[in-house]
Amino acid sequence: MSWQNAQLIRTLSERSGPVADLAFSPDGLILASGSCDSTVKLWNLETGDRHRSLFGYPLGVNAVAINSDGTMLAIGAPDGTVDLWDMETGKRLRTLCGQGRVMAIVFSPDGKTLVSGNDNSFSDTVFATPANKGNADAGESHAGSINIWHLSTGKLLYNLCDPSVPVNALSISPDGKSLISGHRDGSINIWHRSSRSLPSHTLNGHQDAVYAVAISSNGLTMASGSGDKTIKLWQLANGHSSTTLIGHADAVYTVAISPDGQLLASGSGDGTITIWQMITGKRLCSLTGYSQNLNSVMSVVFSPDGQKLATGSGDGTIKIWQAS
């Protein structure tokens, strides 16, 4: 199978606003999409039909995630809340109450905790839900926060040393021991879950905001996408930069690493998706179908088997690509 001859096999569209985030179910049959309308949609990828809509997000959604066994969907909202939904029944299970705009969410591999990254410089006075008393410290008095939540109780366990700048992106290592956060000031922090005080490394290689981070399946390499139009590959163990990928003509808003760790997909404000070879940094191909400015690519995600790529854009469409 080759991505150099990738084919567009399906376009999902309800023209409901920019698609901010996408998540595959573990079996690859369902795709969750979060956008700037009031709903989160679950799509049946075998038929292309909308399987279910989850309502209650008047300010839109920035982040969605599905846990490793496919039973739970998490939705991060601009009012500081993270809602947990049952994937099978479509019922809301619990709401985690924080502050600021939720920019990124990730489940831990063991499914016991959820991490949310917030931009606390954003505050909506109409729709914002005050944090409950038990979570009063979630991001309080900080421009950004990284909150660790206990899923079975809904309680805030701790903050990973609240950062001084808003959080744009998160990724967690396959063993759950390392967490990566990307920030508005262009920095990247590597956190070890055993230490809750300071990041083990702070990386400052980008010249603009970091919008996306991803960790490879072997836990050795991480990638970051930035407003400086570049993608950087880093060694997770020591934070050393190994390669800078140059080719996009606008900000890189999203990156994803294939399940086998061989490929990297990136989406940009230039309206293109680029597939890169991880080992060499070589650009293999660009997938076109969006126009610059009007249709920035905001989200890319590989299917669990690595044979498909879902991309979401500013025009509200979701495209499904397949290697051939």
Dist. CA 273–CA 286, nearest whole Å: 6
Predicted local distance difference test score (pLDDT) of residue 132? 35
Predicted local distance difference test score (pLDDT) of residue 165? 86
Predicted local distance difference test score (pLDDT) of residue 303? 98
Dist. CA 263–CA 287, nearest whole Å: 14
Predicted local distance difference test score (pLDDT) of residue 140? 43
Predicted local distance difference test score (pLDDT) of residue 37? 82
Pairing, β 167-172 against β 156-159:
unpaired
Whole-structure pTM value: 0.91
Predicted local distance difference test score (pLDDT) of residue 267? 96
Cα dist from 290 to 36, 149, 158, 287, whole Å: 18, 37, 41, 9
Sheet holding 63-66, edge to edge: 63-66, 72-76, 81-86, 92-97
- Write out the DSSP string of 207-231: SS-EEEEEE-TTSSEEEEEETTSEE
Predicted local distance difference test score (pLDDT) of residue 141? 46
Dist. CA 161–CA 178, nearest whole Å: 14
pLDDT along the chain (324 residues), means of 10: 87 82 97 90 94 90 96 95 96 93 96 94 44 39 84 92 83 95 95 81 95 97 97 94 94 97 96 94 87 77 97 92 92
Predicted local distance difference test score (pLDDT) of residue 120? 84
Dist. CA 312–CA 112, nearest whole Å: 29
Sheet holding 19-24, edge to edge: 19-24, 30-35, 39-44, 50-55
Q: In 3D, which of 208, 295, 319, 301 has the Cα closest to residue 254?
A: 301
Q: Residue 310 in contact with residue 31, Cβ under 8 Å?
A: yes
Q: Residue 170 in contact with residue 183, Cβ under 8 Å?
A: no
Paired with 268 in beta bridges are 252
Q: Residue 297 in contact with residue 310, Cβ under 8 Å?
A: no
Predicted local distance difference test score (pLDDT) of residue 144? 86
Predicted local distance difference test score (pLDDT) of residue 133? 32
